[in-house]
């Protein structure tokens, strides 16, 4: 999920460079993510899991509500021992629902695990591409203008989003066309450092970048 992209203000290089000489750039991670079908497909799969879990919880809560209403209608007719037993059953079901909510949506729960399984690999690829572009173009800092409210203005000249997409093997500006890698092998090389090192055409993307 793009809401989980927390790689703002990456301090990549230039530690020993004077402040006045440091170079800055920005990316738009929303734009990058929308241009990568792997992300949109992963997001759809995650949304399906979340929808199923929500329906599961909703069904259990509806059942609990029905049992509670039934108890309230009948409790004055029940002997004390049955009242106590029914109340205990209601408390157990309520506890089960709370435990399931925690399991599905709590910290470290099923949603977090599925997000790590489906979304994080795409995020990691983007992070690696941003880092590589920044190193090769000698940027000291890269800011995410999609997520940072402190970026009030960003000159397109210093936006490396298209460079990142090209390095990943996708056509810039094709977010609305469900981008397809321009070169399948290039896409694989961008995801595999060893393949990038072996291919002289992808050893440095500077020739394709502004």
Q: In three state form, how does the secondary structure of 79-136 look?
A: CHHHHHHHHHHHHHHHHHHHHHHHHHHCCCCHHHHHHHHHCHHHHHHHHHHHHHHHHH
Between CA 164 and CA 28 the distance in angstroms is: 10
What residues contact residue 108 under an 8 Å CB cut-off, 6+ apart?
none
Q: Which pLDDT value is given to residue 48?
A: 97
Mean pLDDT of 104-127: 94
Q: In whole angstroms, what separates CA 112 from the centre of its chain?
A: 10
Residue 66 has pLDDT above 60, yes or no: yes
155 falls in which pLDDT band (50, 70, 90)?
low
Residue 58 has pLDDT above 70, yes or no: yes
Between CA 161 and CA 156 the distance in angstroms is: 10
149 falls in which pLDDT band (50, 70, 90)?
low
Mean pLDDT of 162-168: 86
């Amino acid at each position: 999920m793009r809401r989980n992209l927390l790689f703002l203000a990456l301090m990549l290089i230039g530690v020993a460079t004077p402040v006045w000489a440091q170079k800055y750039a920005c990316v738009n991670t929303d734009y990058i993510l929308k241009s990568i079908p792997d992300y949109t497909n992963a997001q759809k799969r995650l949304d399906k899991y979340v929808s199923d879990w929500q329906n599961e919880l909703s069904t259990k809560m509806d059942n609990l509500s029905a049992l509670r209403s039934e108890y309230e209608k009948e409790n004055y007719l029940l002997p004390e021992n049955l009242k106590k037993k029914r109340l205990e059953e209601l408390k157990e079901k309520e506890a089960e629902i709370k435990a399931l909510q925690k399991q599905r949506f709590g910290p470290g729960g099923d949603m977090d695990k599925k997000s790590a399984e489906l979304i994080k690999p795409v995020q990691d690829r983007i992070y690696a591409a941003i880092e590589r572009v920044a190193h090769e173009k000698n940027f000291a800092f890269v800011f995410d203008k999609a997520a940072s409210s402190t970026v009030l203005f960003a000159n397109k000249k210093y936006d490396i989003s298209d460079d990142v997409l090209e390095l990943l093997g996708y056509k810039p500006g094709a977010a609305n066309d469900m981008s397809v890698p321009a070169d399948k092998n290039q896409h694989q090389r961008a995801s595999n450092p060893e393949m990038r090192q072996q291919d002289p055409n992808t050893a440095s993307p500077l020739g394709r970048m502004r």
